[in-house]
Every structure is written in C-alpha cells, then in structure tokens.
Amino acid sequence: MRTDVKFDIVSMGEMIVDFTQYGASENGYTLYEQNPGGGAANISACVARLDGRVAFLGKVGDDSIGVALKDAMLNEGVDISGLVFDSDLKTFLAFVHVDENNERSFSFYGHMPAHLALRPEELNLSILRDTKILAYGDKILAVPDAFETTMQAVRIAKNAGAKIAFDPNIRLSLWSSPASARETILAHLPYCDFVKLSTDELYFLTEQKNLRTGADRIMLPEISLVMITDGENGAYAFTKSGVVFHPAYSVDTIDTTGAGDAFWGGTILQIARQCKEDFSSFELEQMLSFSCACGALATTRHGAVPAMPTTDMVQRLQNQQK
C-alpha cells in the first residue's frame, strides 16, 4: 500500500440529509432534526474525527441543503475538493424512524437524486490518485450511470496504487429487485480488496446461514478481509487463514443510524495506517476492538454524522470495558 499520498481515505457516494425523529411539537406532531448523513459522508466524518486524512467525492443539489452539507463536512475537517454541485437535481432526503427498541426504518424521497448523477468527467482525478484507500457503497451500483462513474473511479484509484473498500449497505427498496441487487453486488466483488457486510446482508448475498461458509463465498482471491457485523452481538473479521470475533461494547443506545459506517470508517482507517493487507490474529483482535467501539459509540447520540466518535472516546470505552 502506498505511503506517499495525501489522503488515508477517499470516500465516494452519498451525502444526504437524514431527518431524524426528535420529539414532538406542542401540538403532538413529530419533529425532525436535519442531520448530515449518507454512507460516504458518515465514513468521511468518522475518519476525520479519528484524526485521519479524508476526502469526500460526490454530488449534492446546488441549494440551501447542499450548502449546509458542504459546511457540515468542512466543520468536520473533511476535504471537499471532490464535491460537485448540481443546479438541476436535488439532494436525497431520508426520514429516519426509530422504534421503541431504538431500531431504525427509513422513508426515502428523491427519484433521481444528485448523488447518483455524478458523471465520469466530474471526478476529481487528483484525490483519486492521491489516496491509500477508495471506499464506497450504497446505491451507486444500482444505477447504470452511477455504476459507470464508480467503475471509472475504481480504475483510476487502483491504477494509482489504491486499495478498494466496499460496503454495499443494501437497502432493497432502492433496487429494482432483490435478484438485481444480489447479482450486481456479487459481480462487483472481484474489484474489491476489503468488504464489509452485516449478517443479514451476508445471508442475502450467499443464501448461507453459516457465517464461515458465507464468508468463504464472499472472499474471492482478490479480497483479503471480510468484516461481518452482527449488531448487538459483535463483529467478525474473516481472512483466508481464519476468523476473529469481538463482542459488542455495552452502551446506552439511542439511535443506531450510522453505526455500521462508524465501524467501517474505523476499520479502513486502521488498515490505511498500517499500510498492509495481511494481519495476524492479534492485529485483527485489536482492529475489531477499535471498530466495535466506534460502532457502539455512534449509537449513543441522535443522527449519523453528529454521533461519530473521536479517538479519545474510543480509547475511553475500550479501557472501561477491558
């Protein structure tokens, strides 16, 4: 992995608004807080708060919401030289509903949102050629034009020596069909070096209930690490030589939005800092401990970007629950 680069991570994809439930008005109607979100934006904010060098690559609407998102990323310390504004399209909106068990469901608004209309000629080539890892996921593989742009970014980054980190973050309601989602994601895996899935996503993609069997099907020759998150139970790190598990940290969960992105942001930053792909069991245990702490802490506040943890917060939680 290259060391003579400006960025540890370039995160490509969604920068959207999460409208998160935040109490009720005096008339009894639900109030929503406008929070910056989207998988790529969450990862960018997480890496920045962990003192990593990170750039965001994507598109938003050229309106007050887009400007607010830009300002939020600047406040987090994220490089936004790859952010494009589109005056003809709107930023995607997600309304996040949290049930009595603090679990989320989503309502999405925006048939053709700005982040899916990034064109190859709008890619910032300099940041793609100046990073250790290119990270992406979400719906950008489901739309032909977005897929073409993504693959162009992958080719540019890989040719410059970057590694590819992929989290499909599957939301079936955003795909034309479950079969299309499965086929497209599985066909894309040969381009990846590191992959993150939830247990439900692993079961969906491989149709296997055994984690080891499913992970083996995901771990193609090109892939050196598969991370599997299992919610409140913990997470697994699969390599070609074995598997390591770490239990979840015990925290007071308020909102799980962004927890997986915090976990993944913490993971890929550790990989970038170590500048290698092969890890011992001890190193994987250390990595999982850090990443699980990141994911747990992200559930202790409302919203996604606002809940991303700092390095001090992670280390404090690790020390408290050794």
Residue 244 to residue 231: CA distance in whole angstroms = 16
By the 8 A CB rule, do 207 and 183 touch? no
Taking alpha carbons only, the member of 98, 254, 106, 95 closest to residue 174 is: 106
Q: Which tens digit of pLDDT belongs to each residue from 244-295?
A: 999 999 999 988 889 999 999 999 999 999 988 889 999 999 999 999 999 9
Taking alpha carbons only, the member of 247, 241, 259 closest to residue 167 is: 259
C-beta atoms surrounding 98 within 10 Å: 17
Taking alpha carbons only, the member of 243, 191, 197 closest to residue 220 is: 191
pLDDT at residue 200, as a whole number: 95
DSSP secondary structure letter of residue 308: P
Domains of the chain: 7-320 (3.40.1190.20)
pLDDT at residue 182, as a whole number: 94
Model pTM score: 0.93
